[in-house]
Amino acid sequence: MSVCVGRFMSSVYPCIINGERVQAGVYGVFEDRNPADVDEVVAVFPLLSREDVKKAIDSAEEAFEKWAALSPVQRGKYLVKAAQIMESQAEELARILTREEGKTLNESRAEVARAIDIFKFYGVMGSRIRGEFTPSADARTHLFTLREPLGVVSIITPWNFPIAIPSWKIAPALVCGNTVVFKPASYTPLIGYKIVEALNAAGIPPGVVNFVTGSGGEVGAELIINDKVDAISFTGSAEVGEEIKQYACRSNIRVQLELGGKNPSVVLEDADLDKAVEMVTRAAFGLTGQACTATSRAIVVDKIAKQFEEKLVERVKRIRVGNGLADGVEMGPVVGEKEMKKILSYVDIGVKEGAKLLIGGKRLTSQEHSKGFFLEPTIFTDVTPDMKIAQEEIFGPVLSIIHVHDFDEAVEVANKIEYGLSASVFTTSLPRAFEFIQRVQAGVVKVNKPTTGLEFQVPFGGYKRSSYGDIKEQGETALDFYSKLKTVYLGY
Ligand code: NAP
Ligand code: MG
Ligand 2: distance of its center to the CA of 183 in Å?
15
Query: Which of 297, 268, 261 is CA-nearest to residue 385?
Result: 297
Pocket flag, ligand 1, residue 157 (CB < 6 Å) = yes
Catalytic member of 222, 258, 309, 376: 258
User: What is the model's pLDDT at position 278?
Assistant: 98
Considering the domain architecture, whether residues 334 and 200 belong to the same structural domain is answered as no
Kindly state whether residue 460 falls inside one of the protein's structural domains.
Answer: no
Pocket flag, ligand 1, residue 216 (CB < 6 Å) = yes
Residue 133: CB atoms within 10 Å: 11
CA contacts within 13 A on the Cβ side of 11: 6
Ligand 2: distance of its center to the CA of 350 in Å?
28
Considering the domain architecture, whether residues 209 and 306 belong to the same structural domain is answered as no
Considering the domain architecture, whether residues 207 and 346 belong to the same structural domain is answered as no
Considering the domain architecture, whether residues 278 and 250 belong to the same structural domain is answered as no
Considering the domain architecture, whether residues 119 and 214 belong to the same structural domain is answered as yes
The H or E element spanning position 252 is none
Cβ(392)–Cβ(340) under 8 Å? no
Query: Which of 426, 359, 355 is CA-nearest to residue 389?
Result: 355
Query: Which of 401, 397, 406, 445 is CA-nearest to residue 424?
Result: 445
Considering the domain architecture, whether residues 311 and 225 belong to the same structural domain is answered as no
User: What is the model's pLDDT at position 6?
Assistant: 46
Amino acid at 417: I
Kindly state whether residue 319 falls inside one of the protein's structural domains.
Answer: yes
Residue nearest to atom 13 of ligand 1 (CA): 216
Considering the domain architecture, whether residues 25 and 116 belong to the same structural domain is answered as yes
Pocket flag, ligand 1, residue 158 (CB < 6 Å) = yes
Backbone angles phi, psi at 232, to 5 degrees: -125, 130
Ligand 2: distance of its center to the CA of 101 in Å?
6
Domain count, the chain: 2
Neighbours of ion ligand 2 (CB under 5 A): 32, 100, 187
Kindly state whether residue 168 falls inside one of the protein's structural domains.
Answer: yes
Specify the 3-state DSSP secondary structure of 188.
coil
User: What is the model's pLDDT at position 246?
Assistant: 87
Q: What is the CATH number of the domain that holds 346?
A: 3.40.309.10
Cβ(235)–Cβ(199) under 8 Å? no
Specify whether 197 is catalytic.
no
Amino acid at 34: N
Catalytic member of 15, 292, 309, 330: 292
Domain carrying residue 486:
2-259+466-491
Ligand nearest to the CA of 99: 2
Kindly state whether residue 19 falls inside one of the protein's structural domains.
Answer: yes
Q: What is the mean pLDDT of each run of 10 residues along the chain (492 residues)?
A: 49 94 87 97 96 97 98 98 98 98 98 98 96 96 97 98 98 98 98 98 98 96 95 95 86 91 98 98 98 98 98 98 97 98 98 98 96 98 98 98 98 97 98 98 98 96 92 95 97 96
d(CA 460, CA 410) in angstroms, rounded, equals 24
User: What is the model's pLDDT at position 270?
Assistant: 98
d(CA 281, CA 262) in angstroms, rounded, equals 15
Pocket flag, ligand 1, residue 395 (CB < 6 Å) = yes
Cα separation values, 216 from 48, 58, 292, Å = 10, 19, 19
Ligand nearest to the CA of 333: 2
Cβ(209)–Cβ(197) under 8 Å? no
Pocket flag, ligand 1, residue 235 (CB < 6 Å) = yes
CA contacts within 13 A on the Cβ side of 112: 26
Specify whether 292 is catalytic.
yes
User: What is the model's pLDDT at position 7?
Assistant: 43
Ligand 2: distance of its center to the CA of 390 in Å?
29
- Strand-pairing partners, residue 413, are none
Kindly state whether residue 461 falls inside one of the protein's structural domains.
Answer: no
Pocket flag, ligand 1, residue 183 (CB < 6 Å) = yes
Kindly state whether residue 210 falls inside one of the protein's structural domains.
Answer: yes
**What are the residues whose beta carbons fall under 8 Å from the beta carbon of 364, sequence distance 6 or more?**
321, 374, 375, 376
Ligand 2: distance of its center to the CA of 32 in Å?
4
Ligand 2: distance of its center to the CA of 170 in Å?
22
d(CA 144, CA 128) in angstroms, rounded, equals 16
Considering the domain architecture, whether residues 255 and 268 belong to the same structural domain is answered as no
Determine the residue of 33, 45, 235, 247 to mutate for testing ligand 1's pocket, defined as the one with the most ligand atoms within 8 A of the Cβ atom: 235
Q: Model-level pTM?
A: 0.96
Residue nearest to atom 40 of ligand 1 (CA): 258
Pocket flag, ligand 1, residue 160 (CB < 6 Å) = yes
Specify the 3-state DSSP secondary structure of 129.
coil
Residue nearest to atom 48 of ligand 1 (CA): 216
User: What is the model's pLDDT at position 25?
Assistant: 72
367 DSSP assignment: G
Considering the domain architecture, whether residues 347 and 369 belong to the same structural domain is answered as yes
Considering the domain architecture, whether residues 203 and 287 belong to the same structural domain is answered as no
Considering the domain architecture, whether residues 76 and 139 belong to the same structural domain is answered as yes
Residue nearest to atom 35 of ligand 1 (CA): 236
User: What is the model's pLDDT at position 304?
Assistant: 98
Q: What is the CATH number of the domain that holds 202?
A: 3.40.605.10
Ligand nearest to the CA of 225: 1
Determine the residue of 29, 237, 340, 468 to mutate for testing ligand 1's pocket, defined as the one with the most ligand atoms within 8 A of the Cβ atom: 237
Ligand 1: distance of its center to the CA of 156 in Å?
8
In 314-385, the DSSP E strands lie at: 356-359, 378-381
The H or E element spanning position 241 is helix 238-251
Query: Which of 180, 157, 164 is CA-nearest to residue 240?
Result: 157
User: What is the model's pLDDT at position 24?
Assistant: 75
The H or E element spanning position 428 is none
Considering the domain architecture, whether residues 232 and 132 belong to the same structural domain is answered as yes
